Amino acid sequence: MIPEPNILTPEAWAEIECGGTVAVDFETFYTAAYSVAELGLWAYCHDPRFQAYLVAVTDGERTCVCAPSRFPWATIAGRTWVSHHRDFDRSVFERLQEQSAVPSGIAPAIWLCSAALCAYLQHPRDLVGAVKAVFGETLDKGPRERAKGRVPGEDYLLAAEISRYAARDALACLALWNHLERHWPPHERRLFDLTSDMGRHGLAVDWAYVRAKRLELEDLAGSIADALPWKPATSVKQFEAACERIGVPAPPSTSSADPGFARWLKKHIDSDAATWVRHMQRVRSANRTAKVLESMEARRMPSGRMAYELKYFGASTGRWSGGGGLNLQNLNRKTAEGVDLRRAIIAPPGHVLAAVDFSQIESRVLLFLAGDTEALVLFRDNPDADAYEIHARRTMGYAEPEPLKAWCDRTGSNLRQLAKARVLGLGFGCGWRKFIEVARVMAGLELSEDDSKGVVERFRDSNPRIVRLWQRLEDACEARDGDHYALPLPCTQHAPAAKRYVLYRDVHVSDEDITATVAGERVKVYGGLLAENWTQATARDVLASAWLRCACAGFVPVLSVHDELVFELPEATAEANLARIIALMETPLPWAPHLPLKVEGKLMPFYSK
DNA sequence: GTGTAGGGCGCG
DNA sequence: AAAGCGCGCCCTACAC
């Protein structure tokens, strides 16, 4: 499928006339310490060590590999370009233009990305994996690894090897694109572009806060670490050895969230070991927060904004994920050791931040997918109620006219807490053992075994549609034994040509279980999982639709976090525009007209939950 | 030294 | 009958 490269000199390339799409692939210098993961795309390309030593350009028939400054860029100006990880190659290209290594004024008509395309189709995103999955061919990554830390110009043999390697990668990129591109619908391409542009635009940051808090945290972590009788401070192994020395059994886990740790701590609360482990936890937490701040500082642009990357279709459900060394989708919601990470993200002068998120989106989507019409009607008739109240009214016998929250506050009932734990924990097949933990973490409830068994049983009895959904999906998957199972998503139900699915590849049914390949790994598949994936993927499409709708109306977000969009709005008109955004996001979707959407938005001088 | 697995800490 | 799921990054320990 991928032809052997026919390599031309730049002079020979300039002689020929060719049309159509060309693939562009740069090779740049990198090391472990100087890499995109360390710095993000922008800072990587603006570092003094930045060096792009090779570019491969191919139209499929002919390939030119040379130093970027030697390539005749005018021959491909105004044409369609494609790269595998476009944002990387585009950053390199634009930097080379800034450095005058490539003439300014050269640009493609459109620059496409075969990696994003592969991700959308739920193939591996990396080139080697994608080529293997799509064409069954194995690409060798050896030359690139051998080039790490070096500029191969110094080494003639390596240079020749790298040239062939770059040519072959460009051909593979073009082959993937041509083979798959018709399956990538326009609105998804638009989402990918919006994602790239959002990260390149970046966020306004309070740099004084970032620096001051990073220094504080580094000091704090250092002084707590000094109080521990071993190094490195966060070594569990050293901690266990120290426990042995004082005759205290080590905990099964040193994670603050682990139930086994909680039980251990209760028992040994007065021991030195208890003090030590809490020190370790504080050091880990402080270190993490300091590292996030450091990572932010590395991404500062001269404009004062911080560039970042978000990975389009990072999850198999289609959700975006963090990437490029800084994950903005998992910033702490609350302060950690006196530092509020979200506080570092601010509105630029004359603006306010608007953070707008869908309320209980997955809970609502699950009821929609399960076809629980009665629940959907309750949502429609009680627009102010949340999903927990609706659940309590629908299946827990709550019938007061008063809103559930007010009633619970007045009477001291924990009904709402229990409803919340049930809604969040039990919709996807969680069993009673796990639910004890879920109820504690999500709702602060301490359930006995019998309590938990009863709750799980009553939930399933009173939510037959959800339980039937698990069964229906599991049956459908099972029926695909020996083949792929494609779970169709409602967002494209009226556009069969561009249908979106969650894919389970190579389903295998045995006596014990069903397994399938998801994101390159074999996983157990069961009804609850399918229901969860279906729900998450559909909730992702809800956000995607809202994003497109907002962008179309001129509201382009600066950040997106699963069920949330963040905008910078000019102060003078912020209130009115926030109302418009909320209205846009709450407008029923053409592909899910009865899905009850509720959106909350607030205006803030800096980001927060 | 480099790559990787597993634990831990964060989020929706 | 039973099974929450989806991510990313840092650190340590360990194999090579």
- Mean pLDDT, residues A110-127: 93
- Mean pLDDT, residues A480-493: 90
Answer whether residue A196 is part of any domain. no
What are the residues whose beta carbons fall under 8 Å from the beta carbon of A467, sequence distance 6 or more?
A460
| 3-state DSSP assignment of residue A412 | coil
Please, are residues A362 and A388 in contact by the beta-carbon 8 Å criterion? no
Q: Do residues A450 and A588 share a domain? A: no
The residue that leads in pLDDT, A141 or A599, is A599
- From residues 103-142 of A, which are strand C contacts by CB within 7 A? none
Please, are residues A75 and A17 in contact by the beta-carbon 8 Å criterion? no
Q: Do residues A94 and A137 share a domain? A: yes
Cα A380 from Cα A390, distance rounded (Å): 10
- From residues 282-311 of A, which are strand C contacts by CB within 7 A? 287-288, 291, 295, 311
Residue A323: band (very low, low, confident or very high) from pLDDT cuts 50, 70, 90: confident
Q: Among all protein residues, pick the one whose CA is nearest to the C1' atom of C6.
A: A315
For position A156, what pLDDT does the model report? 63
Question: Of A506, A534, A562, which marks where a domain is finished?
Answer: A534
A172-181, A354-363, A426-435, A465-474: the lowest-pLDDT one: A426-435
Question: Of A534, A564, A589, which marks where a domain is finished?
Answer: A534
Q: Do residues A428 and A503 share a domain? A: yes
For position A152, what pLDDT does the model report? 62
- Mean pLDDT, residues A204-224: 93
Q: Do residues A179 and A98 share a domain? A: yes
CA of A322 and C1' of C8: distance in angstroms?
6
Surface-to-core class of residue A547, CB atoms within 10 Å of its CB (0-12 exposed, 13-18 middle, 19+ buried): buried
The DSSP output letter for A343 is G
Answer whether residue A458 is part of any domain. yes
Give the count of beta carbons closer than 10 Å to the beta carbon of residue A77: 14
CA of A374 and C1' of C9: distance in angstroms?
43
User: A15-29, A51-65, A143-157 — which one is most confidently predicted on average?
Assistant: A51-65
Cα A368 from Cα A362, distance rounded (Å): 10
Q: Say yes or no to pLDDT of A25 above 70.
A: yes
Using only C-alpha atoms, what is the Rg of chain A? 27
Q: Say yes or no to pLDDT of A581 above 90.
A: yes
A14-19: Cβ within 8 A, 24+ apart? A14/A72, A14/A75, A16/A62, A18/A59, A18/A61, A18/A62, A18/A75, A19/A59, A19/A79
A87-91, A357-361, A495-499: the lowest-pLDDT one: A495-499
Q: Do residues A578 and A505 share a domain? A: no
Q: Say yes or no to pLDDT of A144 above 70.
A: no
Give the CATH number for residue A565. Answer: 3.30.70.370
Q: Tokens standing for A522?
A: 């074999």
- Mean pLDDT, residues A556-572: 96
Please, are residues A484 and A282 in contact by the beta-carbon 8 Å criterion? no
For position A595, what pLDDT does the model report? 94
> Cβ of residue A452 near strand C, that is under 7 Å?
no
Q: Say yes or no to pLDDT of A248 above 70.
A: yes
Q: What is the pLDDT of residues A337-384, one digit of tens each?
A: 889 999 999 999 999 999 999 999 999 999 999 999 999 999 998 888
Q: Tokens standing for A225?
A: 């670490």
Residue A185: band (very low, low, confident or very high) from pLDDT cuts 50, 70, 90: very high
Q: Do residues A223 and A271 share a domain? A: yes
Q: Do residues A172 and A215 share a domain? A: no
Strand C bases near protein CB (under 7 Å) are: 2-14
Nucleotide lying nearest to A563, CA to C1' measure: B12
Q: Do residues A214 and A167 share a domain? A: no
A494-502: Cβ within 8 A, 24+ apart? A494/A590, A494/A591, A495/A185, A498/A183, A498/A185, A500/A185, A500/A188, A500/A318, A500/A537, A500/A541, A502/A122, A502/A316, A502/A317, A502/A318, A502/A533, A502/A534, A502/A537
- Mean pLDDT, residues A146-166: 72
Q: Do residues A579 and A509 share a domain? A: no
Q: What is the pLDDT of residues A73-85, one digit of tens each?
A: 999 999 999 999 9
Q: What is the pLDDT of residues A505-555, one digit of tens each?
A: 999 999 888 999 888 788 889 999 999 999 999 999 999 999 999 999 999
Q: Which of A68, A112, A70 is nearest to A92 (CA)?
A: A68
Average pLDDT, chain A: 91
For position A421, what pLDDT does the model report? 87
How many domains in chain A? 4
Q: Do residues A481 and A406 share a domain? A: yes
Answer whether residue A382 is part of any domain. yes
Answer whether residue A598 is part of any domain. yes
Please, are residues A502 and A316 in contact by the beta-carbon 8 Å criterion? yes
Q: Say yes or no to pLDDT of A493 above 70.
A: no
CA of A406 and C1' of B10: distance in angstroms?
32
For position A35, what pLDDT does the model report? 87
Q: Say yes or no to pLDDT of A175 above 80.
A: yes
Residue A211: band (very low, low, confident or very high) from pLDDT cuts 50, 70, 90: very high
> Cβ of residue A544 near strand C, that is under 7 Å?
no
- From residues 376-435 of A, which are strand C contacts by CB within 7 A? 424-425, 428-434
For position A266, what pLDDT does the model report? 87
Cα A51 from Cα A191, distance rounded (Å): 31
Answer whether residue A317 is part of any domain. no
**Measured CA angle at A559 (ends A554, A560), to 5 deg:** 95
Answer whether residue A232 is part of any domain. yes
**Measured CA angle at A48 (ends A46, A50), to 5 deg:** 65
For position A220, what pLDDT does the model report? 92
| 3-state DSSP assignment of residue A516 | strand
> Cβ of residue A336 near strand C, that is under 7 Å?
no
Q: Say yes or no to pLDDT of A153 above 70.
A: no
CA of A118 and C1' of C7: distance in angstroms?
18
Residue A564, φ and ψ in degrees, nearest 5: -140, 140
- Mean pLDDT, residues A277-294: 91
CA of A74 and C1' of C9: distance in angstroms?
41
**Measured CA angle at A350 (ends A344, A351), to 5 deg:** 55
Q: Do residues A564 and A527 share a domain? A: no
For position A485, what pLDDT does the model report? 95
For position A154, what pLDDT does the model report? 60
> pLDDT exceeding 70 applies to what percent of chain A?
96
What are the residues whose beta carbons fall under 8 Å from the beta carbon of A6, sequence distance 6 or more?
A61, A62, A63
**Side-chain-side CA neighbours of residue A562 (13 Å):** 15
Q: Do residues A476 and A393 share a domain? A: yes
For position A142, what pLDDT does the model report? 65
Strand B bases near protein CB (under 7 Å) are: 2-3, 7-12
Please, are residues A252 and A261 in contact by the beta-carbon 8 Å criterion? yes
- CA distances (Å), origin A265, targets A136, A269, A277, A442: 52, 5, 9, 21
What are the residues whose beta carbons fall under 8 Å from the beta carbon of A443, sequence distance 6 or more?
A414, A417, A418, A420, A421
Residue A119: band (very low, low, confident or very high) from pLDDT cuts 50, 70, 90: very high
Q: Among all protein residues, pick the one whose CA is nearest to the C1' atom of C11.
A: A234
Query: A545 lies in which domain range?
Result: 345-361+537-604
Residue A411 is which amino acid?
A: T
What are the residues whose beta carbons fall under 8 Å from the beta carbon of A38, sequence distance 6 or more?
A44, A298, A325
CA of A438 and C1' of C3: distance in angstroms?
14
